[in-house]
Amino acid sequence: MLTSIPHPQILFIDGLPGSGKSTAAAALGDSVSDSKVFVESAPDHPLLVGRPDRMGAAFADIHEMHSIGSFAAAALERLETFLEGAGHDVLYVFESHPIQSTVRVLFQLDAPQTTILRFWSNLQERLAVAQPRLIYFQEPNPLHALKETNRKRGPSWESYFVEAFQRSPWMQARALSGAEGVDQMAVAYADLMDQLVDLWRFPKLKLPARPENYEARTDVLTKWVVAPASRERH
């Protein structure tokens, strides 16, 4: 049975690769009427800056198209354009936003933490009119999660992941390469994600990235989405 929502809503679903973001977004799209789901690499994605690569949205070559400042400006501009045209009585579900496909790029570009925090604050200031919710799949052991995702997706995914990120300014600045370099990058990035989620000003729901029962997790987040978001849940 589809559930209607009384007013426009924006919902972000974020977490590390393999945490179940796409599955959760699809489930919400199926269970909530008047919803529109944008997966990370959707060609019509209104918030995406850059060109998704062949297997997702790693934006391995984003440093060739944008500086730190130009990417931040472009991301905020696309957000403002979307908010100006957002429809009424619609649930907009954004998978892999606002961190994975925005802040992660600034992280890849080796932006200073002060710059990333300023961008995070600016982004939330622009979002205040919508009071968006954030569902975050938190991973206590990012290195283990990365290896598990690589195991499930196979050698081609692991090779792609290493190739995509070892060219990043973040790794280049630290003279890192290969799987070990990607491991260091993943741990640092996961720590940044946790910090930014803690600084989220609007309603948020933190759930385990690898729960024992995925159906139960989906049920929890679906009920949270259609219920009043007056309180935070951790």
pLDDT along the chain (234 residues), means of 10: 56 89 88 86 83 60 83 95 86 93 92 97 94 92 80 77 82 90 90 96 92 86 73 44
In sequence order, what are the residues at sequence separation of 6 or more whose Cβ sits closer than 8 angstroms to the Cβ of residue 144?
none
Both tokens of 91, joined, read 């649930």
pLDDT at residue 54 in the model? 60
The CA distance from 182 to 69, in Å, is: 24
pLDDT digits (tens, 9 = 90+) for 100-156: 989 999 999 999 999 999 999 999 999 998 889 999 999 888 888 778 877 877 777
pLDDT at residue 232 in the model? 46
Q: Cβ(185)–Cβ(165) under 8 Å?
A: yes
Question: Which residues are paired to 206 by β-bridges?
Answer: 136
Total-model pTM: 0.88
Q: Cβ(146)–Cβ(16) under 8 Å?
A: yes
Both tokens of 20, joined, read 């179940």
pLDDT at residue 203 in the model? 95
pLDDT at residue 7 in the model? 47
Candidates 186, 223, 187; CA nearest to 205 is: 223
Q: What string of DSSP letters covers 111-125? A: --HHHHHHHHHHHHH
Superfamily (CATH) of domain 9-219: P-loop containing nucleotide triphosphate hydrolases (3.40.50.300)
pLDDT at residue 55 in the model? 58
